[in-house]
Amino acid sequence: MIDGQRFLLGGADGAGVYQLAAMGNRHGLVTGATGTGKTITLQVLAESFSRMGVPVFAADIKGDLSGIAAPGNPHPKIDERLALMPAEGFAFEGNPTVFWDVFGVSGHPLRTSVSEMGPLLLSTLMELNETQTGIMYACFRIADEQGLLLLDLKDLRAMLSFMAENASELRGTFGNISPASVGAIQRQLLVLEEQGGDVFFGEPALALADLMHTDFSGRGVISLLDAAGLMARSPKIYATFLLWLLSELFEQLPEVGNPERPSLVFFFDEA
């Protein structure tokens, strides 16, 4: 069902519907009512791209994508569906899968550093106002000038305390740094810590290379982010992480035009 240039998505009356690998770098949308097969469609796409050697990243909101790692089981409904399409040689197979979890419970701990996140996304995550956002930018600038890495929230808190204690010396370069504004930011840090920010920010930080590799047989590795607990505890961290990951892809990957197949396929389940 996979010939290197395309793979079978579905079909009816013996005719197949195929996905061209070269068209995998387009944006796509899978829609439908509950129970019509949106998640199964995502699984078929992810499995097929993996078999073509393309790494896949997907955020698993409901926890129903994890079965992609294990072979399926025969079922009359599956046999009935296969009979309607040209699916010769179909076999149940597991797929190379790596599980990620911000909290480190259902997968490898997923981390990024405060410096990697940057002042803009961090200010948005913490819902800072314009004045507080300016102080956050100043905080990152000072850390950069001093050659200091902001790895976790403790580092950020220490830098903010330094700014408050040395506000008079910093005023000439960075403007007024009021204790009230710094205090407001530190209170928002407390909220962020309670939502899981204390475990999300730290080392070792996730690198794009961690998501873009193949196994020993040449299949693309499927990276699944367990987002069920994260969405329940802090949907803002979930949304900010995905936005950060997309920005990293945009900044780091070169423009390659239209290759024969994608370098990485990115799925948002329950978007």
Compute CA distances 235 → 59, 63, 78, 207, whole Å: 13, 16, 35, 22
Q: At what angle do helices 114-126 and 179-192 cross, to 10 degrees?
A: 100
| pLDDT confidence of residue 173 | 86
Mean pLDDT taken over the chain: 88
With a cut of 80, say whether residue 15 has pLDDT above it.
no
**Rounded to whole angstroms, how far apart are CA atoms 179 and 163?**
9
With a cut of 80, say whether residue 87 has pLDDT above it.
no
Distance of CA 139 to the CA centre of its chain: 26
| pLDDT confidence of residue 3 | 67
Mean pLDDT for the stretch of residues 138-162: 94
**Rounded to whole angstroms, how far apart are CA atoms 56 and 143?**
35
- Sequence length of the chain is 271
Q: What is the pTM of this model?
A: 0.86
Domain ranges for the chain: 6-110+206-268, 114-200
Asked if 225 contacts 58 with a C-beta cutoff of 8 angstroms, the reply is yes
Q: Residues of the chain with pLDDT > 90: what percent?
A: 44
